[in-house]
Amino acid sequence: MKKADRAKLILKLLNEIYPDTPVPLNHSNLFELLVAVLLSAQCTDIRVNKVTPKLFGKANNPYKMKKIPLDTIYNIVKPCGLAPKKSKAIKNLSSILVKNFNGEVPESFEELEKLPGVGHKTASVVMSQGFGHPAFPVDTHIHRLAQRWGLTNGKNVAQTEKDLKKLFPIKSWNKLHLQIIFYGREFCKARTCFGLTCKICNLCYPSRKKAIKTRKP
């Protein structure tokens, strides 16, 4: 099966399995989404959703957040890991948003990626889930599954994103990246399947016998 044919099959199956794709991180505005995505680095969405109600209860916009003592932010976000770095980023980006953007989250990759603690993946999530612009944020699940499904060589996350954008229609990106994440969490986990047992792996490579070793991001 050619790569393009696998992509069409995968898109069809994922649309059947996940017709709805709710945003995993709880938020009520763009600032909360930005902070939640920042906190999700090397942390589960479930844990982030347990932490953010307390944080956003104290400050749900950059004007309030920049006034909160750094130690307070640190103690709240500590369960998410990387707390020293994340707490500083949250406080500093809040000050920048107030100073340079009238407290609004900028609607551009360039401006988002200039903010402390905001890399390309975080910016992609905000642009996609927050503003509705086409983007393809690649996390560990997407990077792993794209390799198991033969859609990329997995050289790095940037290459995986580039390869997936070539294979799938732009109108599918925002929904598809969530569908792949959901599928990876449910059926094609890091320590199971290994490219051998889940439905999509079997359909893409029915004669595959050897476990696939994937490159980590």
User: In angstroms, rounded to a whole number, what is the distance separating the alpha carbons of residues 134 and 210?
Assistant: 36
5 is a catalytic site residue: no
Question: Considering 66, 86, 91, 121, which one is annotated as catalytic?
Answer: 121
Q: Dig out the tokens for 92 from the structure.
A: 């500093």
139 is a catalytic site residue: yes
Encode burial over 192-212: b for 16+ CB neighbours within 10 A, e otherwise: ebbbbebebbeebbeeeeeeb
Question: Considering 86, 91, 139, 163, which one is annotated as catalytic?
Answer: 139
Angle between the N-to-C axes of helices 157-167 and 140-148, in degrees from 0 to 180, rounded to the nearest 10: 60
Angle at 189 between CA 186 and CA 193, to 5 degrees: 110
User: In angstroms, rounded to a whole number, what is the distance separating the alpha carbons of residues 189 and 143?
Assistant: 12
- What are the catalytic residues? 121, 139
